[in-house]
Structure 1
Amino acid sequence: MRFGILSPVVFRPPGQSSPWEAGAGPAELVRVAVAADRLGYHHLTCSEHVGVPVRIAARAGGTYWDPLATLGFLAAHTTRIRLATHVLVLGYHHPLAIAKRYGTLDLLSGGRVVLGLGVGSLAEEFALLGADFDGRGAAADDAIAAIRAAWGRAVPEYEGTHYAFRDLLVDPHAPRTRVPLWIGGYTPRSLRRAAELGDAWVPFGLPPERIGAMLAAAERPEGFEVILNPPPLDPIAEPGEARRHVEEFHAAGATMLNIVLRHRSVEHCVEQLEALRRLFPEAFDAAA
């Protein structure tokens, strides 16, 4: 079991974020990232939306810092922690553009990029960007295969159902030819997509018993990761409850957890990061 953090400040969904985050900026974000890096957390995250419909933002959150800019900024302030997109919407990008942009970040960060990828669900945002909403599933499958083919290669080649490229120089590119691909979603199809094309499944909005049942019914390759999101934890005030949630999601099949912590300030957030490490020292020691 390893722990990553759903980064505060950059994404503020109702019920998960704290009031202080609304007034926070780069300095507070860096302070949290540096602490998580020092303490041995596996990754930090940044998600993606260009424009969220107001009717949805009111209940699901409307703050989304741009992941490429944000993770590039945080890469310069950290040394070990992975930089995870959680998630990029595949339909908004050409796969070769993802390989070039995030491959450059992989180069700059010393190979610390994790690509979390998703099919997307906001029809209004697809329309805004001129992307195909109805055919997004098949296009996403082809995009994942194209990213695999292009990652870390100077002259990539790919011929698929939706994308094709050859005889193009991509310089710079990632320093390695394989990047972890975490596939988001909450349907059995998303789990199959992750098992067939990715390295991990990152579901959301599902109770642990449903996740456990889906995993039990699915074929998964060796080494396949399952990254789950327990409810917000308070390891300082409620260590027993925090442990219970972690153990519950581990029992459901998690190999890694995306952690949200309850906090009143950036100082308290760092204290909570430290407290969680003390609560599960074996996880951090094993990761180190």
Structure 2
Amino acid sequence: MRLGINSPVVTAVPGVHSPWERTAGIEELGAVAEAADRLGFDHLTCSEHVAVPVEVAEQRGGTYWDPLATLGHLAARTRRIRLATQVLVLGYHHPLEIAKRYGTLDRVSGGRLVLGLGVGSLEEEFRLLGAAFEGRGSIADDAIAALRASLSRREPAYRGEHFAYEGFVVEPHAVQPRVPFWIGGRTPRSLRRALVHGDGWVPFGLPLERLREMLDAAPVPEGFEVVLSAGRPLDPSGDPEGTADRLRVVTEAGATLVGVSLGAESAGHYVEQLEALAKIADLGADGEARA
């Protein structure tokens, strides 16, 4: 088991974020990132929404920092921790747009990019951006295949159902020979998409019992990441036993990598919570939990 951080500040989902995050900025986020990097956590996340309808924001939140700008800044303040989009909506971008922008991020971070990718579900946002909502699953499958063929190449070439190109130079490009793809979703189809096209699966909004059933029905290969959320914000300083129990339950559900949110009263308190969580999990310098 490894532990990653569902980054504070960058989103404001009702019931998950803490009051201090409302007025926090890049310095507070940077301090959290530096501490997570120092303590051996696996990754930091940043989600993508361009514009959320007002009525939807009441449930999903309306604050979503841009992942490229945010992770680019955090790359300069950290040395080891991975930088994960969780997730980019494939339908909002041409594959070579992602290859260029996030390939550059992989270059400047020294090969620490993880691309979390999703099909998307917010129809109003698709319409706003001029992206096709109907048929988005097929478009996403083709985009993932195009990305895999292109992301780490100077002269990418691809021909598929929705995307076709050759004869272009994309420089800089990703330095990792194979950038990890984590596929988001909550359906058996999303898991199949991840097994076919990706290196990991990032489900959301499913009970752990259902996740265990889905994983048992589709055994995953060696090295495939199952990135499960620990759920409600944890309090490792105030409730170390409950925190340890929650990590154990999520791991037993099939997680190879647990994404955690932490309750805190300030950025400084958040760093203290990270330190307490690292002790509970007995994290090593490589990010592996010893406990």
Task: Tell me if both proteins adopt one fold, taking TM over 0.5 as the criterion.
Answer: yes
Report the alpha carbon displacement of residue 287 of structure 1 after superposing the two structures with TM: 3.1
Report the alpha carbon displacement of residue 285 of structure 1 after superposing the two structures with TM: 5.3
DSSP-derived class of the 1:176 partner: coil
The equivalent of 1:226 in structure 2 is: 226
Please list every run of at least 4 consecutive aligned residues from structure 1 whose deviation after the TM superposition is greater than 4 angstroms. none
Question: Normalising to structure 1: TM-score of the pair?
Answer: 0.98
Give the RMSD, CA atoms, in angstroms: 1.0
Q: Which runs of 5+ in 2 are unaligned?
A: none
Report the alpha carbon displacement of residue 60 of structure 1 after superposing the two structures with TM: 1.6
Residues 217-268 of structure 1: CA distance to partner in whole angstroms, max 9, x if unpaired? 1142221110000121101111111111111110000000111001010011
Contact map agreement 1:151 1:176 (CA 8 A) in 2: no
The equivalent of 2:138 in structure 1 is: 138
Q: Structure 2 CA distance, aligned partners of 1:59 and 1:171?
A: 40
Q: Structure 2 CA distance, aligned partners of 1:23 and 1:175?
A: 36
The equivalent of 1:129 in structure 2 is: 129
The equivalent of 1:237 in structure 2 is: 238
The equivalent of 2:249 in structure 1 is: 248
Contact map agreement 2:185 2:204 (CA 8 A) in 1: yes
Give 1:244's aligned amino acid. Answer: D
Contact map agreement 1:195 1:219 (CA 8 A) in 2: no
Residues 90-109 of structure 1: CA distance to partner in whole angstroms, max 9, x if unpaired? 00000111011000010001
DSSP-derived class of the 2:70 partner: helix
The equivalent of 1:262 in structure 2 is: 263
Q: Structure 2 CA distance, aligned partners of 1:287 and 1:27?
A: 24
Q: Percent identity?
A: 62
Contact map agreement 1:2 1:284 (CA 8 A) in 2: no
Give 2:119's aligned amino acid. Answer: V
Q: How does 1:17-56 map to 2 (within 5 A)?
A: 17-56=17-56
DSSP-derived class of the 1:284 partner: coil
DSSP-derived class of the 1:21 partner: helix
The equivalent of 1:69 in structure 2 is: 69
Question: Normalising to structure 2: TM-score of the pair?
Answer: 0.97
Contact map agreement 2:3 2:287 (CA 8 A) in 1: no
Contact map agreement 2:39 2:285 (CA 8 A) in 1: no
Q: Structure 2 CA distance, aligned partners of 1:286 and 1:21?
A: 29
Q: Structure 1 CA distance, aligned partners of 2:62 and 2:243?
A: 27
Q: How does 1:62-101 map to 2 (within 5 A)?
A: 62-101=62-101
Q: How does 1:186-205 map to 2 (within 5 A)?
A: 186-205=186-205
1:172 correspondence with 2:172: yes
Q: Structure 2 CA distance, aligned partners of 1:253 and 1:208?
A: 9
Report the alpha carbon displacement of residue 53 of structure 1 after superposing the two structures with TM: 1.0
The aligned length equals 287
The equivalent of 2:215 in structure 1 is: 215
